[in-house]
Structures are given as C-alpha cells and as structure tokens.
C-alpha cells in the first residue's frame, strides 16, 4: 500500500525487501496486477505530474527495482497472462518514456533502462508482439543510440536482436552493434600483429602499458606451457581484440548491447568458433575505476591467458573444451600465470582445508561456491601440479591439444585421490605465502 512506499529514513530498503518476498516465494504471477499498479503510480501523467520527483526518493527507487525484478522473474514461472495481456508492457513502456525528462541525469536514471528492458521482454510473445513492436519503435524514437537517456534505445535494440531480428529493418536496428561499437569505443591501438585494443577512453601511455603487460604474459605463457608457439589444429584465432570500457557502469550499459554477453562479472573472454576464419576472439573488459589514479584494466592478464590457453592448449571451441570438467585448469591456469607466486588470498583459502584436490579436479562452471573453488582453489591446484607433478601437466595438456577429452578424463580418474594427501601437505607447508622446505613424503 501507500504506507510501504512512504519515505523511510530509518530503513530505506524496507519496500524493496518486502516486494522481493514475492520473488523469493516464486509468486510473481499472482502479483502482476499489483506490480503494474505500482509502475503506473510512479509514471508521469497529466494527473500525476510529480511522479518522476517522487520515484527519485530512495525508498521508492529501491522499491521500484524490486518491482522490475518481479516482472523479470515472472517470465520464468510459466506464461499465463504475461503472454497475452499487452497492458504490462504498456505500463512499463509509459514509465520509461514519460519519466525520461524527469530522471535523465539524476541518481535514479537507471530506473528508465530497467523499465524499458522489462517492457521489451514481452516482445517474445507472439500474441502481443505487434503492440510491443510499436513500443520498441517508440523507445527508439524517444532516445538516441548514444547520449543522455540512451538506455531506452539500447533496450529496444537488444530486444529486437533477441526476439525479432528477422524484422530488424522495420525498426532501423540491423547491425546496430557495429555502429554502436564504433560510436562508443573510439580509441584504437595496435599492440602487435596479434593484439589490438579498442577503448572508450585510454591515452597512448595507457595503451602502451597494457600492450607491455600482455606481451610479457605471452612470453611467460609460452615458456611455462612449452608450446613452441604452435597453435592447436583448426584454430584461426590469430588475433585478439581487447575492448576496454571506461568503468563498470559503461561496461554494464554497452557490453550486453554490443556483444550480447552477461555483464554481471569482471570482464569476459569470448573465444567464438576458432575454426571459422572470419571469427574474432575478443576480451571485453573495463578499467578498474576504484583503483584510480593507478590505471588498471581489470583482469587483463587473467583473460589474456584464456585467449592463449584456448589457442595453444585447448582444442575446439569453449563448449567442447568444457564438455568435461576442465574448469580447474582453465580458471586455475589463468590465475596462476597472471598472479604467479603472489596470491596470498588463495593460500589462505586453501589452508581452510575445505576441499580436496580431487574435488577441485571436478570443478564446473555451474557449481556452488564457484568463485572460491574456481579461482582460489583452482590457482592452488594448478600451482601444485606445476610445482610437484610437471610430468602430469605435460600429459594432460597433450590430451587437451589433441581434443582427447575422454582420454583426459580417463587419465584424471587414474590420478583419482592419489594426490589429495600430498596436496594437503603442500598447502600446510606455506608460511606467509612462501613455501617452507617440504618434509619427506611417505610413498
């Protein structure tokens, strides 16, 4: 009710948390009309000219984020009225368009993009597609591809790409990704014959620093992996394009629209299909604005190792190379080669004794405790294998390079839990990040 959204200086999150209970209980479909009424309550109209000012108040703004979350989650709960009732997308559309003038340039501007994206999600339903298509054209007309308030344009263009791309000409959005990339990533720099950087805002010294870091990493990689600089068969990813956004907010705004990736992360390497001669391997990144004035492209060397690993170690595309549990290697190697022997947080994580080495060998991308297991424990597993069982590393990588992932699994099952106790002993030998002299191991 009205009281829930009253300004609450004691706890500005109350409305948001109460509304999230709907989603926690998987009851979004039961509350669609209530959510629609809240959207309409905070939409500027002739009868409600102050709605944009009201929605900027913190209690209300946070509550509206939960309203949009409930709409987002509802699509996964079965279709019901969602797929046939055009009034939900219409309400969300009106919120975005009517509140645009009052919210652009304010701390609550992100609500416009949220509402626009949720209105456009209804473009997937055939029964109301023509209604939502008209709203998509309205969003495209109400804002531009770049400039203030362009979240409306981006939301519509992404939805057309995802749900109605065959008709993109009727919206004027065909191949918008290339135009958008050219408009946003305006600074280009060629490091070498294998690396090109496109950025939103980097200086020549910053480009040179990034190139130097990757160049050093490349030499170290080939030395550590004994590659002889020979790529795996059928790999045409001769060059890497590094796209660098100015900060996380710009990454979140543009990377999904341009590259179609999930942006809830620290950057992403997209290998594509390496067998396709026209494929472009790409690392989509952002500057770690929180470290300024120091200039750091977040996860740069980690992701560059992914490119090198994909080209020189792992046969096939990402789907093939992760068809068996190889994540301990993929993420662990990127951590190990980028951080080398300087990773005290990983040592501290491993010293909890939470996992055995054989458990880490089973790492996947959809496991619980992913960040801890893939990065900290993956680092320790790969480092242990390099330091203590280099022969096994060479055998495993030999299997990867031939695309023999079944043989790799058979080899790993032969190792089984044989190294669990030595791994635990090795972890126990660390003191402040420096390995002590190893005690003799029992056979």
Are 20 and 69 contacting, i.e. CB atoms less than 8 angstroms apart? yes
> CB under 8 Å to 64, separation ≥6 — which residues?
38, 39, 42, 55, 111, 114
Q: What is the largest CA-CA distance in the chain?
A: 83
322-443 adopts what CATH topology?
Answer: Neutral Protease; domain 2 (1.10.390)
Query: Tell me: the pLDDT tens digits for 135-178?
Result: 999 999 999 999 888 999 999 999 999 999 999 999 999 999 99
> How high does pLDDT run on average in the chain?
92
- CB neighbourhood size of 260 (10 A): 12
Q: Which helix (H) or strand (E) holds 368?
A: none
Instruction: Please give the Cα distance from 441 to 419 (Å, whole number).
Output: 11
| Residue-level pLDDT at 5 | 73
Question: Which residue among 28, 118, 217, 303 is the active-site one?
Answer: 303
**Which pLDDT value is given to residue 79?**
72
What is the predicted pLDDT for the residue at 361? 97
| Integer Cα distance of 110 and 65 in angstroms | 9
Q: What φ, ψ does residue 31 adopt, rounded to 5°?
A: -120, 15
Is the link from the previous residue into 305 a cis peptide, with omega within 30 of 0? no
CA distance 323 to 95: 44
Higher pLDDT, 235 or 6: 235
The helix/strand count (H/E) of the chain reads as 23, 7
Angle (CA) 268 251 240, round 5°: 40
Residue 439 has pLDDT above 50, yes or no: no
User: What is the C-alpha to C-alpha distance for residues 306 and 337, in angstroms, rounded to an integer?
Assistant: 10
- pLDDT the model gives residue 9: 66
Q: Is pLDDT larger for residue 12 or for residue 94?
A: 94
Q: Which two tokens stand for residue 340?
A: 């080398």
Average pLDDT, stretch 106-112?
Answer: 94
Which bin fits 267, alpha (ψ -120 to 50), beta or left (φ > 0)? left
Specify which residues 434 forms β-bridges with.
Answer: 431
Q: Is 287 a catalytic residue?
A: no
Long-range contacts (CB closer than 8 Å, 24 or more residues apart) made by 255-264: 255/284, 256/158, 257/154, 257/157, 257/158, 257/177, 257/180, 258/177, 258/180, 258/181, 258/184, 259/177, 259/284, 260/158, 260/161, 260/177
Tens-place pLDDT, residues 342-389: 999 999 999 999 999 999 999 999 999 999 999 999 999 999 999 999
Beta strands in 206-350 (DSSP E): 240-245, 268-270, 281-286
Tell me the pLDDT tens digit for each residue of 242-254.
999 999 999 999 9
Give the DSSP letter string of 308-323.
HHHHHT--S-HHHHTS
Under the banding of pLDDT at 50, 70 and 90, the label for residue 92 is very high
Q: What is the pLDDT of residue 14?
A: 81
102's CB contacts (< 8 A; 6+ apart) are: 44, 51, 52, 53, 56
* pLDDT tens per residue across span 186-219: 999 999 998 999 999 999 999 999 999 999 999 9
- Return the beta strands (E) in 202-289 as ranges: 240-245, 268-270, 281-286
Q: What is the mean pLDDT of residues 33-41?
A: 95
Question: What integer pLDDT is reported at residue 2 of this predicted model?
Answer: 64
Residue 209 φ then ψ, to 5°: -60, -45
**pLDDT at site 8:** 65
- At 7 the pLDDT is 72
Contact assessment for residue 100 and residue 143, using Cβ atoms and an 8 Å cutoff: yes
Nearest to 155 by CA among 147, 164, 145: 145
pLDDT tens-place string over residues 114-125: 999 999 999 999
Backbone phi, psi, residue 109, to 5°: -60, -30
Asked if pLDDT for residue 94 goes beyond 80, the answer is: yes
Percentage of the chain beyond pLDDT 70 is 95
Q: Is 171 exposed, middle or buried (0-12, 13-18, 19+ CB in 10 A)?
A: buried
Q: How confident is the model at residue 36 (pLDDT cuts 50, 70, 90)?
A: very high
Confidence of residue 4 (pLDDT cuts 50, 70, 90): confident
Per CATH, the homologous superfamily of domain 176-314 is Collagenase ColT, N-terminal domain (3.40.30.160)
Q: pLDDT category, 440, cuts 50, 70, 90?
A: very low
| pLDDT above 60 (res 88) | yes
pLDDT, tens digit (0-9, with 9 covering 90-100), for 278-323? 999 999 999 999 999 999 999 999 999 999 999 999 999 999 999 9
Confidence label for 11 from pLDDT (cuts 50, 70 and 90):
low
Helix or strand (DSSP H, E) at 333: helix 327-339
């Amino acid at each position: 009710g009205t009281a829930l959204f009253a300004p609450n200086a004691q706890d500005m999150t109350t409305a948001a948390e109460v509304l999230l209970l709907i989603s926690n209980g998987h009851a979004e479909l039961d509350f669609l009309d209530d959510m629609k009424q809240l959207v309409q309550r905070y939409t500027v109209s002739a009868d409600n000219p102050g709605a944009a000012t009201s929605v900027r108040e913190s209690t209300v703004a946070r509550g509206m984020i939960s309203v949009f979350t409930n709409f987002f989650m509802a699509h996964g709960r079965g279709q019901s009225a969602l797929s046939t009732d055009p009034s939900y997308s219409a309400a969300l559309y009106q919120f975005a368009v009517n509140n645009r003038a009052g919210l652009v340039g304010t701390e609550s501007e992100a609500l416009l993009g949220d509402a626009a994206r949720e209105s456009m999600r209804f473009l997937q339903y055939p029964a109301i597609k023509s209604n939502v298509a008209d709203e998509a054209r309205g969003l495209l007309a109400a804002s531009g591809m770049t400039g203030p308030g362009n979240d409306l344009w981006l939301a519509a263009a992404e939805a057309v790409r995802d749900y109605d791309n065959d008709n993109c000409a009727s919206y004027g959005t065909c191949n918008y990704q290339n135009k958008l990339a050219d408009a946003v990533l305006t600074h280009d720099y060629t490091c070498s014959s294998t690396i090109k950087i496109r950025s939103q805002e980097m200086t020549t010294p910053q480009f040179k620093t990034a190139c130097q870091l990757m160049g050093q990493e490349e030499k170290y990689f080939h030395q550590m992996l004994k590659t002889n600089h020979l790529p795996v068969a059928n790999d045409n990813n001769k060059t890497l394009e590094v796209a660098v956004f100015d900060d996380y907010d710009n990454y979140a705004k543009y990377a999904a629209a341009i590259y179609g990736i999930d942006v809830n992360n620290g950057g992403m390497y997209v290998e594509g299909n390496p067998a396709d001669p026209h494929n472009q391997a790409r690392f989509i990144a952002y500057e770690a604005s929180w470290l300024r004035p120091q200039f750091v492209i977040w996860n740069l060397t980690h992701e560059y190792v992914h490119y090198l690993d994909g080209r020189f170690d792992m046969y096939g595309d990402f789907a093939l190379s992760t068809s068996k549990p190889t994540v301990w290697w993929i993420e662990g190697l990127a951590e190990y080669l980028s951080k080398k022997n300087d990773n005290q947080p990983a040592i501290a994580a491993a010293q909890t004794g939470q996992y055995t080495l054989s458990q880490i060998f089973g790492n996947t991308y959809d496991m619980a405790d992913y960040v801890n297991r893939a990065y900290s424990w993956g680092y320790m597993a790969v480092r242990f294998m390099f330091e203590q069982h280099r022969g096994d590393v060479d055998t495993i990588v030999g299997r990867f390079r031939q695309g023999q992932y079944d043989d790799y699994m058979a080899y790993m099952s032969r190792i089984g839990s044989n190294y669990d106790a030595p791994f635990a002993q090795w972890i126990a030998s660390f003191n402040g990040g420096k390995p002590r002299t190893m005690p003799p191991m029992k056979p």
